[in-house]
Every structure is written in C-alpha cells, then in structure tokens.
Amino acid sequence: MKGHNESYAMELIIAKVKQGDMVAFNALIDEYKAMAFTLALKLMKNREDAEEVAQDAFVKAYSNINQFEGKSKFSTWLYTIVYNTALTRLRKKQLDVQDIDSHAVESSAFQSEPGHEWRKLERDERSSYIQQALGQLVSEDQVVITLFYLNENSLAEICEITNWELSNVKVRLHRARKRLLIELEKLLDTEVRSLL
Amino acid sequence: MSKFELSDKELKQLLQNEGLEEPSLSFNRLILEKAAAYEHARSIKTPLALKIVFGLVMVVPVIFIFIFGGVDLGLSDALQGQQLSIPKPDLDFQINNYYIYFLALTVGVIWLSIIFNKMLSHRDGNPVKNG
C-alpha cells in the first residue's frame, strides 16, 4: 500500500514538473540525486565530473520530461540519461573505459582466510575494505554492482539503463560479483598477513 | 574460485549499509538555475517577420547564385531537343562585385556554422529516449 502511495505521489510530482513547477522538480532532484550522483561517480571516478554529469542529466530530464510516458519507472529513465551523459563525457575526455584484462585479475595467486574472518571486522574497517575493493573494479562492473545490489534494479532495468543485452548483463554481473569477492579476499589476506 | 563466502543477500546488505554518495550542497541550486535558464531561453519567441527575413537572407543568395551566377546544373543537356530554355533575365543591380562576394561569403559562413552546429549536437547529445 505504501509503495502504491509513493508511486502515486511520484506520478503527481512528475505531472507538476511537466507543467514547469520548479518546486516539484526540486523534490524530484532530492529523491534521485544520491543514486544519480553515485552512478555518475562510478563512471567518472571524480566528484567534480560526476556532479556535472548528474546535473546535466537532471537538466536533460527536465527539458525532455514530456518524453517520459510512464512506460518504465522514472528512476530507470533518469539513470539511462545519467549513464549516457557520463559515457558521452568520458568519450569527450578520451578516457579509456575498456575492461581491464580479466586474465590479470584472475591469474593473480592468492591465499586467504576463510569468510568468517570478515564478520569479525568492525563496521568502519569493513566500509573501508568495500570501498577499496569496489575501487579495484572497472567502471562498468561498479555500475552493474551498484545498480543490482545497491539500487536493487532488476536485470531488465539494467538492460534498459545500459543498453546491454540481457546475457551480457548476467555475465557481467556474475563476473563483477566474483571480482569484488576476490578483491575483498585479497585485501583481507593482506591485512591478516600484516598483523602476523 | 574465491574461498570468500558471501551470499547475494549478505552482499546486498553489505553494500546497502555503505549507503549512497551525496553530492555537494549546491547541487540542487545549480540544477534549478540551469533549468530556469532553459525555461527562459524557451520562452523567448522569435517574431515571425524576423524568421521570414532570416529565411530570405539565407535562401535568396543561394537561388541567385544558382540561377544567375553561372552554375551549370546540366539542365541544358537534359533538356536538349525539347526546345525549352530557362529564362535568364539580365539583372544589373549596380552593386559593386566586392559587396556581392562579401554577402555570399557571409551567407556561406552562416550556412556552414548551422551545419557544423547540427553535426556537433548530433555527435555529443545522446538523444533522450522515451520512457
């Protein structure tokens, strides 16, 4: 019921934005800015660029709001714009966003402590490890992890946002998850060794 | 294979505990300013007369050059034997050639800038899809 009310409230807000209501648009920004910025940051790798991308995406969404017909969720439509805006900006900056050689990651030898060590770590330490591990992944792996686990987007929604094939999303998500765990394991292993 | 064991649910919880990144405090204000600037630009109406004058300035020199400027469209070959001829009135506006060339150059520059602008906006802007 709550979810239904929320989506109805969002429909009202979007209808007001279509009429040029800036207060409603401000509410829309508040609702989605954190996720839009997080998504942009995963691709751009620095806060200034990510803020510009997220801002441009919101302005594009505002100027094209009549193209939003409610066929998909507003968030999905908005994140598609954020994703495309970030890619365009990256192309302009001529940054290389190619996948890193997966062989290099997977062939690195590691010996680590089992998973239960993880649960012993304090929250702050865990947070630091997660950030570090995520930082080791390529942009697109970070994006797929962020959308699926953090924002709880479905695979179909991720396809819509990124314009990837479903099979590609599945493979990438599986690979990204595996890499994230490997990175966490490596970091934990290094930490344990440094204590010895 | 990773020995690290975390279920999907645990990984989701772990990442969600991390929370989302927050942009700077001026984030909303800057977007609203840009949106207001967009609204302002959209609200400026170009008078119809100005549009017509601009259209004439852009089109007339092109027509003039093609009809009277000696550009051979190959029509004479195509119309050979049909006893048709394109009327070519002998117009003399008593204008110095220097001004005609300058006008043609100006129009050319405007045309090129329009085409170049279209190309750039096509390359840069991913068109927003319907949602």
pLDDT of residue B14: 82
Write out residues 36-95 of A within 8 Å (CB-CB) of B. Answer: 37-38, 41, 47, 50-51, 54-55, 58-64, 67-72, 74, 76-77, 80-81, 84-85, 87-88, 92
For the whole model, what pTM was predicted? 0.69
How many residues in total does chain B contain?
131
ipTM above 0.95, yes or no: no
pLDDT at A107 over 50: no
The residue among B11 and A109 whose pLDDT is bigger is B11
CA-only gyration radius of chain A, Å = 19
Write out residues 144-173 of A within 8 Å (CB-CB) of B. Answer: 145-146, 149-150, 152
Cβ separation A71–B17 shorter than 8 A: no
pLDDT of residue B48: 87
pLDDT of residue B75: 58
CA-only gyration radius of chain B, Å = 30
pLDDT of residue A40: 94
Give B18→chain A minimum CA distance, Å: 6
Distance from C-alpha of A99 to C-alpha of B101, rounded to nearest angstrom: 54
Contacts of A150 (CB under 8 A, 6+ apart): A35, A38, B12, B15, B16, B18, B20
Chosen for mutation from B5, B20, B24 (greatest number of chain A CBs closer than 10 Å) is B20
Strands in chain A per DSSP E = none
Which of A16-30, A74-88, B74-88 comes out lowest in average pLDDT? B74-88
Q: Which residues of chain B have pLDDT under 70?
A: 1-4, 65-96, 123-126
pLDDT at A194 over 90: no
